[in-house]
Structure 1
Amino acid sequence: MTSANIKSVGRAVIQLFRVPSDNPDLMRAQFDAFLKQIPLLYFILISNTIAVAYTFVPLAPAWLTLIVPSVLSALAALRTFWWLRQRHLVRSDADILRNLRVTNWLVAPISLGFVTWSFLLYPYGDVFAKGQVAFYMAVTVIGCIFSLMHLRSAALISTLLVNIPYVVFFFLTGEPTLKAIAINTLLVSGAMVTVLFIYYRDFADLVASRKSLLVKQAETEALSDENFRLANLDPLTELPNRRRFFTDLARTFSDAKREGNRLAVGIIDLDGFKPVNDIYGHTVGDRILIDAAGRIREVCEGFGPQHVQYARLGGDEFGLLIVGNPTDDDLLELGQKIGDRIRLPYAVDPINTALSCSIGFAAFPQIASSAEALYECADYSLYHAKRHLRGQAVIFSKELEVEIRSRSVIEGLLRTCDFDVEMDLVFQPIVDAVSEHTVGFEALARWRNPALGWVSPADFVPAAERIGLIRPMTHALLKRALVAARNWPDALRLSFNLSAHDICAAEGILSLIAIVERSGFPASRIDFEITETAVTFDFVRAQQSIATLKAMGCGVSLDDFGTGYSSLSHVHKLPLNKIKIDRSFVADINENAASLKIIKSLTSLCDDMEIASVAEGVETYAQLETMRRLGCQFIQGYYFARPMPESAIADYLRTERQRNSCLVAPKAGA
């Protein structure tokens, strides 16, 4: 037998002991059968256990005859009560699968519990009592097999965990009668397992045939209006659901194509809903969704002269179909009205909160030649809005079409990219704001592709995250950055950027630690920079990863602070060394009073938390002076130096030393 055949057989055997999850109809039929048979199973266990325990009361210790059987019987009674309650509940397929798996998992400890109790009881009995134990175990396992027949995996687990110890135990007693009983039980169990496989196969076939019959009946019979409405209605918001939306999209697209009319698709995504849902729970989240859905309905029904169809696509996402030759101005007006209504406060106990929404539109015939492509274009418009124009409406355009094609090209070329050959690093100095001495360099990735030339990190880093290549790219670049940093003076630090995928997986952090340790570069001279977005991606995991990096001696900086969505409470919970103030606030600090106030608040926050502050994007002396006045400790930007290749660092440091020596040299004649 080949290795492949052995693996195939192994997988098949493993599947015998698992609950199949690929057939919802079979799962539901198994669950319904269990509702009738599980009480019988536990009745057999409880009654037989009480009978055996009663026999052994004068023979065995009280803990074996009273306490243990009472605990086992109570557990069986609780499970019986739980199953009886399920008869009047409506369960989803996911709930049914979870409950069947729980049953499958509980079979092992329950079976082992009763078997262990029987074996502990056996030595205290006389000949008749010992025979009763043997009879108890044989009859009980047979009853269990029959009761569990609809869940083959559970029946097999129970058979193996009871029969194998049973047969071995009684066969080793040396008593001919017990050996005969053990062999007989083994043969009967084998026959029952055969019957079990045949019965389970026939049961599955019966369910499949019943499903096939129902499907045929559904094809030949017209659905009632009420059934059709329920099948196409979102039960939470009572808006048309995703199924209805795409049915209407296909129909309206065909009509628009045939009649030459303009049709638009819109996708709405609520900004800020996920944090509210995570913090306050799904009950509050559901009430906000209901309220938001009602607002969208009111705007759409009052918008004319175009007809607007609306639906809930899932989660906090809603869909729009705009027919009646809408213009771009009509779409933007609709988006503005929906956005204004969504931004109104939500008074939902125990909170009073506000949200916004981003909307993506795409219009036929200007864009797309199919209903599916039109929806994808609207979805990309939404993606663009959330990334660049959060809280606004964006209409798919030729520029976005070029962008989406470029995105696909970049993703394709990244998959074949040799990171060691095509990827490069440049280093930008980080300078002490007062002394103007360089304290370290930030490593920045650059990609020169043979076909595309230089590709911006703003394009290839998100692409690498989308297609799952960010971690191997991070590893390759970190190794090169550490090699370069080994040639620097001991006082200089290396700053290196990590993505959410690097810090939100345990194996990601472990691999980074291994790279640092193998490099020989001191961990105490490394600052890993993490964005606010990465922190909020999975705060608990990010917190654990940051603590791990700190434990090995690395510094941790929060990058682009002020542009993300992490709360101050999150920042206080992270063991940070630095906060990097985003360049968007620095650029107009001397012209925009709001930017000045924001940076002043951020530097004060850093002082209070005893965290260093780093200003990015400082390009003029006026900006430098303002940052010094506000108490910012470190500066990074074109005023001191642009990012440079590794080969230029030595000359840069030499020039800096010469400049500083001139500044402190004594005047002539002094």
Structure 2
Amino acid sequence: WFMAIPESAEPEELNQMILIRLHGTIWNHLMFGALYSGWAIQLFMTGDVSTQGLVVAFVGVSAFGIVLCLMHVRGAVVAYLGSALVPLIAFMWMSEETHFRTGAFIVIMVALVFVIVLNRYSRGFARMINQANLVKRQKLEAERLGKANLALANQDSLTGLANRRCFMSTLERRVNDVKSHRISGIAVGILDLDGFKLINDVYGHSAGDKLLVEVGRRLSALQSSRVYISRLGGDEFGIIVSNKMNDSELIEIGELLCDAIKAPFCVSGKKTHLGGSVGFAKWADQSDTGESLFEKADYALYHAKENERGGVIIFAAHHAEIIREVREVDRLMQDADFIDEMSLVFQPIVLPNTATTVGFEALARWNSPLLGNISPDVFIRSAERAGTINKITAFLLEKALGEAKKWPEDLFISFNLSMQDITSSEAMVRLIAIVNSSGFDPKRITFEVTETSIMDNYDTALLSLSLLKNMGCKIALDDFGTGYSSLSYVRALPLDKLKLDRSFITGIENSEDACSIVHTMVEMCQSLRLDCIVEGVETKDQLSILSAMGVKLIQGYYYSRPLCSNDAVDFVLEERRLDEFRESPMTQSDMAVIG
């Protein structure tokens, strides 16, 4: 036991120690055998016949015992037999006594049996050891491959950060740590890159991958014992912040991550810029799970991208109320009859100089008997998640064209299409069939699409819009300026109109910068020979400023809120009666009556 080899020894050191021990054992038994043989010969020479017989018997028994004990060390056995028996056998054989030679012959036979048995056992033992070593090597290789596979399964191959699978498992562990009070709190965040899709499409996927690698490198440098970052997929990154912190500290972390992304990138030899939006959700109580925290962070991110692009939003109580509403809407979407509860309203699109209505935008409304009026933003997103948006679009388009047939023939109708509408060949075939069967002139139809819906699948969207354009329909880019706003895309798309988002109009009366931005956009539309429609006009001052800029079409509450179908018809007819009245010659008596 005092010569035991420590288990902590390294493999090379272990092998070296074993070899030294083996060599020592062999030499020890070689010398012991020589001394033993000398002692036996001396006794044999001086003893009587009975003593000589005992010597032979003792030597044989000793040899048997040593061979039995050292069968696993063949070299030591051979060394002992060679040094102990060979001299004794030689001495006995050279003796003139017949019984000595007979004894020598017996010893030789016994020695041969020992050697044969030893050899067979040694080969079997060697095979067993080799097999054990092979199994050990295979086990080590399996462990190595297992670790490598685990690393591959948990690591994003592009950025080197942890992947979504690892993120979710880490999140569950952190949640359990909070529940068991090993850490004081946790916050989950999702960071989404703003503008990556555009760069990826313009410069190619290879450049996009290089950009993601650099983003991963920058974010990785910001990791710490408290901040864990992974790539969830695409241009989204997950964040886990361990231990409790207040909102300002959490926002500071989010802004630090966004600032790292805002630094210029070099793509194909050119400098380009990205932005980032972050949504956070903090641990509230024991009812929170990893999945619920992730869902809350995802909603906070959506809110940031919709309202504060490039900012950091922390999930709050009013967001929870919205999520509950969304879940209720999702549940109602499973009802086959929900579509019958939907209706349309129509908001006038007006020439500002003459206050003449030239068209209406059809807007979807859902008045649920259970939830009341549901916001279009909510039920449209819910329909997109549920995969029912194409069905809703077809139903509402057919209904809208039926109502528009009641209007004067010089009015157009503007109708919104979702991303799933313009990226689905089946949906496009159905929409085209509805237009063709409606009896409504396609030239009086304007289909509105958002920048984001086009960028998500540009090639398919371009094909769909071209099909609608070839039918005679017009195409408008909605909410221009809130998404990618790339002039190269504006020029490439078959557009007829641009609609400026209402966010550019807010505060235009008091902001020279806002005026300059809108004026630049209006001039751009004029240079591209596109009609410019400004949304969200609510005051006379806004109208005056826009008219002075040369804006041709406006839409907003200043002229009218969205109207039901009958009210829209009455609105136009009343407007035209007033126009005819103003243009007709009036007598003094007429004036007196009016007075």
Same fold (TM over 0.5): yes
Q: 1:315 to 1:542 in 2, by over 3 A?
A: closer
Indicate how the Cα distance of structure 1 residues 587 and 391 shifts in structure 2: closer, same or farther if over 3 A, else same.
Answer: closer
Match of 2:243 in 1: 324
1:659 maps to 2:581: no
Once the two structures are TM-superposed, the CA of residue 590 in structure 1 deviates from its matched residue by 1.7
- Cα offset for 1:626? 1.6
Secondary structure of residue in 2 paired with 1:236: coil
On the 8 A contact 1:533/1:566 being kept in 2, the answer is no
Residues 510, 314 of structure 1: alpha-carbon distance in 2 compared, 3 angstrom cutoff: closer
Aligned counterpart, 1:284? 207
Residue type of the alignment partner of 1:263:
I
Structure 2: how far apart are the matches of 1:220 and 1:539?
46
Q: State the partner residue of 1:245.
A: 167
Structure 1's 230 and 424: CA in aligned 2 closer, same or farther, altered over 3 A?
closer
Q: Deviations over 1:517-550 (max 9, x none)?
A: 1111111221112222222222222222222112
- 1:413 positional shift: 0.8
Secondary structure, counterpart of 2:521 in structure 1? helix
**CA 1:650–1:354 in 2, change beyond 3 Å: closer, same or farther?**
closer
What is the match of residue 178 of structure 1?
none
Q: Which residue in 1 is equivalent to 2:369?
A: 450
Q: 1:546 aligns with which of 447, 459, 465?
A: 465
Q: Secondary structure at the match of 1:644?
A: coil
- 2:401 is aligned to 482
Q: 1:264 aligns with which of 183, 187, 190?
A: 187
The C-alpha deviation readout for 1:403-428, integer Å capped at 9, x for no partner, is: 22211111111221535531111111
Partner of 1:350: 269
Partners of 1:585 and 1:365 lie apart in 2 by 37
1:411–1:467 contact (8 Å) kept in structure 2: yes
Aligned partner of 2:328 in structure 1 is 409
Once residues 542 and 366 of structure 1 are traced to their aligned partners in structure 2, the CA distance between those partners, rounded to angstroms, is: 44
* 1:40-119 equivalences in 2 (<5 Å): none
- Taking the aligned partners of 1:231 and 1:637, their CA distance within structure 2 comes to 53
What SS is found at the alignment partner of 2:464? helix
Q: Deviations over 1:413-465 (max 9, x none)?
A: 12215355311111111122222222121111111001001111121112111
The aligned counterpart of 2:223 is 300
Could you tell me which residue of structure 1 aligns to residue 90 of structure 2?
Answer: none
Asked if the contact 2:197–2:455 (Cα under 8 Å) also holds between the matched residues in 1, the reply is: no
Q: Give distance in 1, aligned partners of 2:211 and 2:500.
A: 33
Match for 1:236 among 158, 163, 181?
A: 158
CA contact (8 A) 1:430 1:439 kept: yes
The DSSP-based 3-state class of the residue aligned with 1:521 is: coil
Matching residue of 2:564: 645
Aligned to 1:275: 198
Alignment check: 8 A CA contact 1:536 1:566 kept: no
3-state SS of 1:560 partner: strand
Which residue type is aligned with residue 286 of structure 1? D
Contact 1:419–1:473 (CA under 8 A) maintained in structure 2? no
Q: 1:352 to 1:376 in 2, by over 3 A?
A: same
Distance 2:478 2:539 in 1: 21
Pair 1:311-2:230 in alignment: yes
Give the Cα–Cα distance (whole angstroms) in 2 for the partners of residues 564 and 604 of structure 1.
19
RMSD: 2.7
| C-alpha separation in 1, matches of 2:455 and 2:472 | 23
The match for 2:280 is 361
Change (3 A) 1:584 1:369: closer
Q: 2:345 aligned with 1:421, yes or no?
A: no
Distance 1:365 1:646 in 2: 47
Identity among equivalent positions (%) equals 43
Structure 2 counterparts to residues 568-647 of structure 1, below 5 A: 568-647=487-566
The whole-number CA distance in structure 2 between the counterparts of 1:552 and 1:230 is 51
Q: Is contact 2:223–2:229 with CA below 8 Å preserved after alignment?
A: yes
How far residue 367 of structure 1 moved from its aligned partner, in angstroms, is: 7.5
- Cα offset, 1:630, TM superposition: 0.9
Alignment partners' CA distance in 2, 1:542 and 1:314: 23
Distance change >3 Å, CA 219–CA 257, structure 1 → 2: farther
1:566 is displaced (CA, Å) by 3.8
Q: Contact (CA 8 Å) 1:529, 1:558: kept in 2 or not?
A: yes
Q: Which amino acid aligns with 2:341?
A: E
* 1:204-215 pair list within 5 angstroms: none
> 2:290 is matched by which residue type in structure 1?
A
Return the alpha-carbon distance in structure 1 between the equivalents of residues 139 and 536 of structure 2.
68
Distance 1:526 1:446 in 2: 20
For 1:300, what is the secondary structure of its paired residue?
coil
Cα 1:508/1:261, change in 2 over 3 Å: same
**By how many angstroms is 1:226 displaced?**
6.9
> Would the aligned equivalents of 2:203 and 2:268 in 1 still touch at CA under 8 Å?
no
SS at match of 1:613: strand
- 1:386 and 2:305 correspond: yes
Q: What is the letter of the counterpart of residue 268 of structure 1? A: L
Equivalent residue in structure 2 for 1:398, among 304, 310, 317: 317
CA distance in 1, matches of 2:559, 2:230: 54
Q: Distance in 2 between matches of 1:325 and 1:294?
A: 26
> How far apart are 1:222 and its partner, in Å?
8.7
Provide Cα deviations, 1:617-640, integer angstroms capped at 9, x if missing partner.
222222222221111111222222
List per-residue Cα deviations over 1:373-416 (Å, max 9, x = no partner): 33333233223323332222222222222222211111111221
From the superposition, tell whether residues 369 and 530 of structure 1 become closer, same or farther in structure 2 (CA, over 3 Å): closer
Question: Aligned pair 1:525/2:444, yes or no?
Answer: yes
Say which SS state the counterpart of residue 494 (structure 2) adopts: coil
Q: Aligned AA for 1:267?
A: I
Partner of 2:475: 556
Q: String of CA shifts for 1:187-246, please: whole Å, max 9, x gaps.
A: xxxxxxxxxxxxxxxxxxxxxxxxxx99x9799969887776565443433333334333
Instruction: Give the gaps of 5 or more residues in structure 2.
Output: 1-134
Q: 2:429 aligns with which of 492, 505, 510?
A: 510
Distance 2:457 2:149 in 1: 41
Contact 2:332 2:338 in 1 (8 A): no
Residues 255, 311 of structure 2: 8 Å contact kept: yes
Which residue of 289, 303, 316 corresponds with 1:370?
289
Matched letter for residue 220 of structure 2: R
Give a deviation string over 1:292-342, Cα, whole Å, max 9, x none: 2222232333xxxx7222233333332222223222222111111111111
The alpha-carbon deviation at position 656 of structure 1 amounts to 1.0
- For residues 256 and 591 of structure 1, the distance between their equivalents in structure 2, rounded to whole angstroms, comes to 50
Shift of 1:603: 1.8
- State the TM-score, normalized to the length of structure 2: 0.71
SS at match of 1:607: helix
Partner residue, 1:107: none
Hey, what's the Cα distance between the residues in 2 that align with 1:419 and 1:252?
Answer: 41
Contact 2:476–2:495 (CA under 8 A) maintained in structure 1: yes
Once residues 299 and 388 of structure 1 are traced to their aligned partners in structure 2, the CA distance between those partners, rounded to angstroms, is: 26
Secondary structure at the aligned position of 1:299 is classed as coil
SS at match of 1:643: coil
Q: Output one character per residue of 1:40-65: Cα deviation in whole Å (capped at 9) or x when no partner.
A: xxxxxxxxxxxxxxxxxxxxxxxxxx
Q: Mark the CA change 1:426 to 1:261 in structure 2 (over 3 Å): closer, same or farther.
A: same
TM-score (norm 1): 0.63
Report the AA paired with residue 600 of structure 1: H
Instruction: Provide the C-alpha distance between the structure 2 equivalents of 1:561 and 1:335, rounded to a whole number of angstroms.
Output: 27
**Residues 136-171 of structure 1, C-alpha deviations (whole Å, 9 max, x = no match):** xxxxxxxxxxxxxxxxxxxxxxxxxxxxxxxxxxxx
Displacement, 1:471?
0.9
How many equivalent pairs are there?
Answer: 453
CA distance in 2, matches of 1:325, 1:257: 13
**5+ residue gaps, structure 1:** 1-212
